[in-house]
Amino acid sequence: MIGWIHNAYATCSVALSGLGIPVCSDPGAAISALAPCYLLPRLRRWLYSAFVQHILQHIYGLPLSLILRIKRATNQLATASDKVCLVLILVMLFHALPLFAQDARELQQEKTPSKKLKGEQPLIALMRSCKSALRPDLIGVHPRVYVTEKEIIELRQRAHTSHQELWRQAISHVRAMETTPPPAPAQNRRDQNEVGIAIAEAAFVYQIERDKKYLDAAKRFMDAAVSYDIWGYANNKPNVDLAAGHLLYGLGWGYDLLYNDLSEAERTRYRDKLIKQARLLAEYFKPTPGRTFAYSQNHTFIPMAGLGIAAYALYGETPEAAEWASLARAIFDRVLTTYSQDGYYYEGFEYWIFSTPWLIHYVDAHAHATGEDLYDRPGFREMYQYVAHSMLPSGNYVFDFGDVFEGSLTRAGKGEEYPRTHPGSRFHTNYNLLYRLAQRFQSREAQGVAEWLKSFNQVNAEDFWSLVWFDANLKPVPIAQQEAWHYFPDHDVVYWRSDWTTNATAFAFKCGPSEGHHTLAMLKEFPDWRLSSGHAHPDANSFIIFARGEYLTGDTGYAGVPLTEHHNTLLIGNKGQAKEGNGHDAFAEVSYERLDRIRIAEVKLDKDYVLVRGDAASAYEPELGVRKFVRQFTYRPSEGFTVSDEVEIAKPTVVTSVLHADSGLQKETNNSFSINVPDVKLLIDAVEPKETQSAIEVNTLTAPGPPGSVDKGERQERGQKLLLSTSRPVTSTRFVLRMKVENLSQGRQRQR
């Protein structure tokens, strides 16, 4: 908002001064300035000027100061044709240069052919060799994408027997029955995504219940989808992004499920819209020579899932469907190959919730439509571990590494995101995805984790899928019998908890490369893979601690510009890790060889003792000269936590250790501090170095901006931070922090 006012003000003052009207001078001058002979040439000049400024500022993202300088220079040029030439030169020049704004830079990288890629784009070979043809027995048949008529009859039986309770829950809230679709153009954030899901939900519920009210509701939402001229946001990646993925899934599967209940006219209308939108999307994702793709990023695989699903729905009904199916299959080949190798999701748990349904939806549609099962890979087998260990003992939040919600705001039930992340104070996690993984891998552990999350009354976006996904014959391993700690070796993240109760002490420690170690070799193997790791944070050697039902010290949530100072780790001369501060992606243009050296060197995990040693020296830019940053994190239930850092730097630099609290951070004595939340106290002793400068500050950050300008959000306050700095620049230092959890009531007793 502030940004918008600032822009509007800047544009107005530029306009007035361009017209030669002084902003705050005498009214007489302003009136004579309105005479046509005076006004018209100035109006023309201003229009030209505003046009150039708009292009430079909003398409190329140049800073305003630079634009004004360019404009001053161009005003020296006399004729209009000079100016037209100059505009053309600028356009050509800036197309060849790296851009300044984060999203503009990403878009540009998408368009710029990679010099490493020679010859035919590798996806084209995959399109030829991978299987994506519809099973012969499904040709001319509807429904077919996920289920056939026969399978629906079986599901209907389940709904009244083994799955009765799950189904009752699923049909207790059917979006399309409770709301009306947002009218076109439906540009509010995520509005169209919800329409896509509402169609799939109502169409499926109709097929099980056969109650016409669901059919009518589904059609209302399908008509809304048709009425949206643009699928997505008009001002940011129209027709080719997340909303397009959601709507292709919804309308595509809705068309397939309801095919035999629709009139010929309705089928034609929905089919025509699907063809139009699928064509736009496929055109955008076309593998042209040198083209790279961010395969591991949700903005690639969500739209592609939609394209694949719509392609199977339309297969044989438009000649292009086969081409779309093969494009989605080829891109998913890379998506699945480059996916996590240990189950950890680098974009953070919020993105696990949001994007994992699309991996499952694509792989399921593909398996059913073609007969080829793409599930069996380590990241899918191990995914339940990530979900289980990410969950805080309270079951109401997660260890929030990466872009996850609004940190302390969401944890306090405040902020804009809370109603979405915790509808009715229940945590929206999509835990029913684990039913599908449990069923597919016959994993009794995954089934047990899902059962545990259900016991917290967590929420699924698509409860209706539980009817298909839940395997009633798979006996869960209760969570209490599962191991209470886990090490994810590819992403180098450790989780530990004393037990699985809500009263457990629990912590997580992270010291790995942004997208895991497997990425180094795969980037060489697949030069068509471009990283877009903005949702991961520059947080090597950071930790999160939770105890006695409270989140004590940790991360600060989704950031437009992620910085190391938002995490419990070290700043070197006030600078954090990687290219922090440059935009949303702190890892853009950092060599993966360097990132890969960020690692956990040693892990010991047991009931009574934990030791983790992380090496994060290479996380910092070489010019900072960090030769050593080894952090040893130990925990013993009887003694608490000890964090010891060994630091060596090439030149004398002030080193700062950062520790966060949502609230209640206090200085106790010279070297001791505490975090105080109701009934719990974390005592912090700064044992070494002997002399430090300490400060307790409000933690502010740039919140994520709207789609298209994520690094241009407003400034937001999220919690507090303790900064402990060496009292002078040093070339080597050792930090030792001891932390212990106390019950406040116990503490008071001791004082008496």
CB of 128 to Zn ion, least distance (A): 42
Supply the minimum distance, in Å, between the C-beta of residue 150 and Zn ion. Answer: 48
Least Cβ distance, residue 555 to Zn ion (angstroms): 4
| Residue 404 beta carbon to Zn ion: minimum distance, rounded to whole angstroms | 7
Identity of the residue, 490 or 539, whose beta carbon is nearer to Zn ion in the bound complex? 539
- Contacting range for Zn ion; rule: CB under 5 A; set: 163-171, 367-375, 553-561, 638-646: 553-561
Binding part of the chain for Zn ion, among 195-203, 459-467, 492-500, 531-539 by CB under 5 A, reads 531-539
Provide, rounded to whole angstroms, the least separation between the CB of residue 415 and Zn ion.
16
By C-beta, is 476 or 557 nearer to Zn ion? 557
Pick between residue 271 and residue 535 the one whose CB is nearest to Zn ion: 535
Q: By C-beta, is 406 or 555 nearer to Zn ion?
A: 555
CA distances from 218 to 193, 473, 715 (A): 15, 32, 41
Reference 638, options 728, 567, 740; nearest CA is 740
In whole angstroms, how close is the CB of 738 to Zn ion at the nearest point? 24
Of the candidate spans 113-121, 289-297, 520-528, 534-542, the one that interacts with Zn ion by CB under 5 A turns out to be 534-542
* φ, ψ dihedrals at 124, nearest 5°: -65, -40
The nearer residue to Zn ion, 333 or 406, going by C-beta atoms, is 406
467 or 710: CB nearest Zn ion: 710
Minimum CB separation of residue 506 from Zn ion in Å reads 17
In the complex, the smallest distance separating the C-beta of residue 104 from Zn ion, rounded to whole angstroms, is 24
- How many Cβ atoms are within 10 Å of 573's Cβ, its own excluded? 16
- Told to check if 537 binds Zn ion by CB under 5 A, we report yes
* Residue range at the interface with Zn ion (CB under 5 A); choices 252-260, 549-557, 579-587, 613-621: 549-557
Please, what is the minimum distance in Å from the beta carbon of residue 488 to Zn ion?
A: 16
Other CB atoms within a 10 A radius of the CB of residue 336 amount to: 19
Q: Tell me the per-residue interface mask from 483 to 522 with Zn ion, x by CB under 5 A, - otherwise.
A: ----------------------------------------
* Range 218-277, binding Zn ion (CB under 5 A): none
Q: How far is the CB of 586 from Zn ion (least distance, A)?
A: 10
Between CA 118 and CA 120 the distance in angstroms is 7
In whole angstroms, give the CA distance from residue 584 to residue 145: 37
Q: Residue 596: CB partners within 8 Å, gap ≥ 6?
A: 513, 517, 519, 520
The piece of 71-79, 548-556, 589-597, 687-695 that touches Zn ion (CB under 5 A) is 548-556
Answer for which of 515, 555, 565, 580 binds Zn ion (CB under 5 A) is 555
Q: Which is nearer to Zn ion, 167 or 399 (CB)?
A: 399
Under 8 Å between Cβ of 126 and 296: no
Contacting range for Zn ion; rule: CB under 5 A; set: 67-75, 339-347, 551-559, 701-709: 551-559
Question: Whose Cβ is closer to Zn ion: residue 555's or residue 662's?
Answer: 555
Q: How far is the CB of 536 from Zn ion (least distance, A)?
A: 8
Which CB, 462 or 555, lies closer to Zn ion? 555
Indicate the residue among 228 and 620 with the shorter CB distance to Zn ion: 620
CA–CA dist 49, 74 (Å, integer): 9
Spatial strand order of the sheet with 542-547 comes to 485-488, 493-497, 506-510, 542-547, 550-553
Tell me the C-alpha distance between 229 and 280, whole Å.
12
Which is nearer to Zn ion, 528 or 555 (by Cβ)? 555
- CB nearer Zn ion, residue 550 or residue 555: 555
Rounded to the nearest whole angstrom, what is the least distance from the CB of residue 564 to Zn ion in the complex? Answer: 9
* Shortest reach from residue 558's CB to Zn ion, in Å: 9
Q: Name the closest residue to Zn ion (Cβ).
A: 537
CB of 189 to Zn ion, least distance (A): 22
**662 in contact with Zn ion (CB under 5 A):** no
Name the amino acid, one letter, at 717.
Answer: E
Q: Give 572's Cβ-side CA count (13 Å radius).
A: 30
Burial class of residue 731 (count of CB atoms within 10 Å of its CB; 0-12, 13-18, 19+): middle
CA distances from 730 to 41, 536, 624, 653, 656 (A): 63, 30, 13, 5, 11
Q: How far apart are CA 302 and CA 284, in angstroms?
A: 14
Q: What is the 3-state secondary structure (H, E, C) of 21-59?
A: CCCCCCHHHHHHCCCHHHHHHHHHHHHHHHHHHHHHHHH
Which of 164-172, 550-558, 672-680, 715-723 is the region at the interface with Zn ion (rule: CB under 5 A)?
Answer: 550-558
Strand segments (E) across 314-459 = none
Stretch that binds Zn ion, among 450-458, 465-473, 536-544, 716-724 (CB under 5 A): 536-544
One-character DSSP codes across 653-720: E-EEEEEEESS-EEEEETTEEEEEETTEEEEEEEEESSSEEEEEEEEEEE---STT-GGG--EEEEEE
Indicate the residue among 196 and 516 with the shorter CB distance to Zn ion: 516
Number of residues in the chain? 752
Rounded to the nearest whole angstrom, what is the least distance from the CB of residue 348 to Zn ion in the complex? 8
Pick between residue 699 and residue 726 the one whose CB is nearest to Zn ion.
699
For 15, half-sphere exposure in the C-beta direction (CA atoms, 13 angstrom radius) is 10
Applying CB under 5 A, the span of 108-116, 156-164, 312-320, 538-546 interacting with Zn ion comes to 538-546
What residues from 375 to 434 belong to the interface with Zn ion (CB under 5 A)? none
Between residues 18 and 557, which has the closer beta carbon with respect to Zn ion?
557
Q: Which of 138, 66, 700, 585 is nearest to 346 (CA)?
A: 585
Write the DSSP string, 492-508. TEEEEES-SSTT--EEE
**Residue keyed to tokens 């709207």:** 706
Residue 209 zone, left/alpha/beta (φ > 0; ψ -120 to 50; rest): alpha
Least distance in Å: CB of 539 to Zn ion? Answer: 5
DSSP symbols for 451-479: HHHHHTT-B-TTGGGHHHH--TT-----G
CA-nearest of 650, 734, 623, 746 to 686 is: 734
Nearer to Zn ion, 253 or 346 (CB): 346
Which CB atom, from 539 or from 615, has the smaller least distance to Zn ion? 539
Q: How far, CA to CA in Å, does 227 sit from each of 201, 256, 356? A: 19, 19, 28
Per-residue contact string for residues 282-321; x = within reach of Zn ion by CB under 5 A: ----------------------------------------
Does position 596 interact with Zn ion (CB under 5 A)? The reply is no
Nearer to Zn ion, 347 or 555 (CB): 555
Q: Is 403 helix (H, G, I), strand (E, B) or coil?
A: coil
Neighbours of 615 (CB within 10 A): 21
> Phi-psi category of 625—alpha, beta or left, where left has phi over 0 and alpha has psi -120 to 50?
left
Q: How far is the CB of 538 from Zn ion (least distance, A)?
A: 8
Instruction: Report in angstroms how near the CB of residue 410 gets to Zn ion at its nearest.
Output: 13
Q: Which residues contact 432 (CB under 8 A, 6 or more apart)?
A: 450, 460, 462, 463, 465, 466, 469, 470
Interface with Zn ion (CB under 5 A), residue total 3
The three-class DSSP label of residue 154 is: helix
Q: Kindly indicate which of the ranges 15-23, 249-257, 533-541, 688-696 contains the residues binding Zn ion, using the contact rule CB under 5 A.
A: 533-541
Instruction: Report the alpha-carbon distance of residue 57 to residue 53 in Å, rounded.
Output: 6
The residues that touch Zn ion, with contacts defined as CB under 5 A, are 537, 539, 555
